[in-house]
Amino acid sequence: MKNIEPLVTSVEKAVAAHRSILADAEQKAAIQREVLTATQAADKAALEPVAQAAADLANKLTELTSKRVELLEELRIGRHQLTCQQGIADEFKGLAVRNFGHQYAETNPGIFLQLLESRPHGILALLVIPWLETWLAEKQEALEETENQIAELAQSAKSPAK
């Protein structure tokens, strides 16, 4: 029978040496992970102003382009309404003017009252047109201001230095 104790001890020492190497490697890996995590956190913190600037620019651009699209749609609708009202007003003016100096209008001065009663939308169109024109001018100014703000944003928006 062989003396097993020294052999077992020898194997146990080898196992302990292997485990020591593994423990050292694991400790080094943990330290490297901590350093990497700290580096990543520092890099993220350093890039935070760039990310915030990008978000601010994107939000401002979205706000301005949305406002521009909204103003363009309002102007389109307003111009259509103005065109419709001008047609009604022109028809009303034509009817009224055709009655000036007309023999029938001379004998029946109430013709203009009848014209107003039978075509109230014509007189309303005459009243609404100046309001629409003023409103359209205001919307056009707002559109121009919005487009100027987009141009200013484009000029001030610079890529960050790497």
Q: Return the exposure string of 23-60: e unless at least 16 CB atoms fall within 10 Å of the residue's CB, then b.
A: eeeeeeeeeeeeeeeeeeeeeeeeeeeeeeeeeeeeee
Whether the pTM exceeds 0.75: the reply is no
Instruction: Quote the pLDDT of residue 162.
Output: 64
Q: What is the pLDDT of residues 3-49, one digit of tens each?
A: 778 777 888 888 888 899 999 999 999 999 999 999 999 988 888 98
pLDDT of residue 85: 95
Residue partners of 129: CB distance under 8 A and separation at least 6 = 82, 85, 86, 89
pLDDT at 93 exceeding the cut of 80 = yes
> Which tokens go with 73?
């749609």
Of all helices (H) and strands (E), which one includes residue 17? helix 5-99
- pLDDT by residue (tens digit) across 61-70? 999 999 999 9
